[in-house]
Amino acid sequence: MKKQILVSGGAGYIGSHVTVELINAGYDVIVADNMSNCDMTCYEGVKKITGKQDIPFVEMDFCNYGVVEKLFTDYKIDAVIHFAAFKAVGESVVKPIMYYKNNLLSFLNLLEAIQKHGACNVLFSSSATVYGEVETLPVTEKSPRLPATSPYGKTKQMCEDILRDTIKAQTNIKGIALRYFNPIGAHPSALIGELPRGVPNNLVPYITQTAIGKRECLNIFGNDYPTPDGTCLRDYIDVVDLAKAHVATITRMVEGCMKEDYEVFNVGIGRPVSVLELVTTFEKVNELSLNYKYVERRMGDVPSLWADTTLANEELGWKATRTLEETLKSAWEWEKYVAQKENK
Ligand code: UDP
C-alpha cells in the first residue's frame, strides 16, 4: 500500500514542487488548498509533469474545523505537510490579526483533527525567520530563537511551539519542522513556479519581472552593509532541492527513523550569496542586462543570514545539488512561461 500524504497549501509555490517530488518518489498525495493566494496553474502543472491526472484536490479552508475533520474521515492519511498559511512579512505587520487568526487557527484545527483520528506524522513548513536577528553565523538548529521581527515570523515560532507541545502530550503524533532559508527558482519544466500577486516583495520574482518588463527597475536595498560587496548575504535554496528535502523528511517519519518525536532541520545550501552576486549571475546565465539601482536599506533586513546544513545533510541524507546558475535559469524560464500564458 502506498503511503498517503496530505499537502495543505499544495497548489502554491513550494507545495506544488513538493507534490511533484512526492509522487516521483512513489507516494500518493492529496492536495488541499483554499486558493487564496494562487490559481490552478501549479496544480495543472503538477499533473502535466507527473503524468498523473487523478491527484485528489480538495478546495477547502483549514480555518473551518468541520472540513478539516472530514478530510481525515474521507482519507487514510499517513502524514501531513502543512504549508497553508499567509506568508507576506510586510502585510503581516499591517494586518496582524489576519495573520495570527489564519496561521494559528488552521494549524490548531489540523492538529485537533489528527488527535481525534489517531496516529499521524506532521511536517511543519517553518522558516529561518524564527531565528530573529541572529548574532552568530552560520545558523544552526541550536541557535537561539530570538524575538521574531514580524507577526508572520511570530506565527512560525508559535506553530513550532504548538507542534512541540502537542507531541509532548500526544504519543500518537510525531513532527518535524523544516526551517527554510530563501527558496527561489522553479521546476526545470517551467510548468510550475512562484506566482506573486501584485508587486513582489522577494528578490528573485522582482528580478524576473524587471527582466520581462513588468517592473521598470530593481531596487537593491542597501550597498553599505558590512559584507564583501556591501549588499546583504542570504542562503538561496533551489525550490526543487527544497522539495526533495521534504521527501527525505517524510520518508524519515513514515519509516520510523526519527531519533526524537519532534525534530527541527535547517534547509539551505549553507553558502552566503550577496544580492549583487545573485543579480550578476542572473544576467550572465540568461544573457541579458538587468536595470537596477541602489536605494536605501529596507527596514527590518539583517545584513547576513545563512544556514549550517550539517544536521539535514547527515540526518536526512539530503543535500542541495542544483547550482545557482541552474536555479536562476529556471526562474527566468518560468517568468517567460507566465508571460506567454498571460498574452494568450
Ligand atoms: N532585496 C532587494 N530588492 C528587492 C527585494 C529584496 O534588494 O526588491 C534584497 C533584500 O534586501 C534582502 C534580499 O534581497 O537582502 C532577499 O530579500 P527577500 O525579500 O527575497 O527575502 P528575505 O531574506 O527578506 O526573507
Reported confidence tier of residue 135, pLDDT bands at 50, 70, 90:
confident
Report domain extents, the chain.
4-184+237-268, 203-232+271-312+322-339
Cα–Cα dist 270/138, whole Å: 8
Q: What per-residue confidence (pLDDT) applies to 11?
A: 97
The 10s digit of each residue's pLDDT in 203-251 is 999 999 999 999 999 999 999 999 999 999 999 999 999 999 999 999 9
Ligand 1 geometric centre to CA of 51 (Å): 35
Residue with cell 510550475: 192
- Site of grid cell 527544497: 242
Task: Give the closest residue to 237 by CA, choosing from 279, 200, 272.
Answer: 272
pLDDT of residue 25: 98
Cell of 140: 544552526
Lowest-confidence segment of 38-42, 109-113, 224-228, 231-235 by average pLDDT:
38-42
Mutate to test the pocket of ligand 1, among 87, 184, 202, 204 (most ligand atoms within 8 A of CB): 202
Asked about 75 being catalytic, the answer comes back as no
Q: Among the options 27, 99, 131, 152, which is catalytic?
A: 152
Lining ligand 1 with CB less than 6 A are 182, 201-203, 206, 218-221, 232, 234, 275, 298, 301
Q: Is 219 helix (H, G, I), strand (E, B) or coil?
A: strand
Q: How many CB atoms lie within 10 A of CB 198?
A: 6
The CA distance from 232 to 73, in Å, is: 48
> 203-232+271-312+322-339: same fold as 4-184+237-268?
no
The whole-model pTM stands at 0.98
Take atom 25 of ligand 1 and give the residue whose Cα is closest. 182
If one counts every other C-beta atom within 10 angstroms of the C-beta of residue 182, the result is: 21
Cα 44 to ligand 1 centre (Å): 29
CA distances 153 to 21, 122, 231, 247, Å, are 27, 20, 23, 24
Residue 341 identity (one-letter amino acid): K
Residue 102 CA to residue 332 CA, distance in Å, equals 32
Element (H, E) at 228: none
Provide the pLDDT for residue 118.
83
> Residue 262 Cα, ligand 1 centroid: separation in angstroms?
31
Report which secondary-structure segment, H or E, holds 299: none
Q: What is the mean pLDDT of residues 73-87?
A: 96
Q: Which helix (H) or strand (E) holds 2?
A: none
Q: Please tell me the distance from the alpha carbon of residue 242 to that of residue 312, in angstroms, as a whole number.
A: 11
The secondary structure of residue 256, as a DSSP letter, is T
CATH 3.40.640.10: does it fit domain 4-184+237-268?
no
Instruction: Give the span between the Cα atoms of 49 and 343, in whole angstroms.
Output: 23
Q: Give 203-232+271-312+322-339's CATH code, choosing from 1.10.540.10, 3.30.1360.150, 3.90.25.10, 3.30.450.20.
A: 3.90.25.10
Q: Smallest Cα–Cα separation from 128: which of 235, 15, 245?
A: 235
Q: Of all atoms in ligand 1, which is nearest to the CA of residue 202? A: 20
Phi-psi sector, 69: left (phi>0), alpha (psi -120 to 50), beta: alpha
58 CA from centroid of ligand 1 (Å): 33
How far, in Å, CA of 1 to CA of 256, rounded?
A: 16
Q: How confident is residue 299, by pLDDT bands cut at 50, 70 and 90?
A: confident
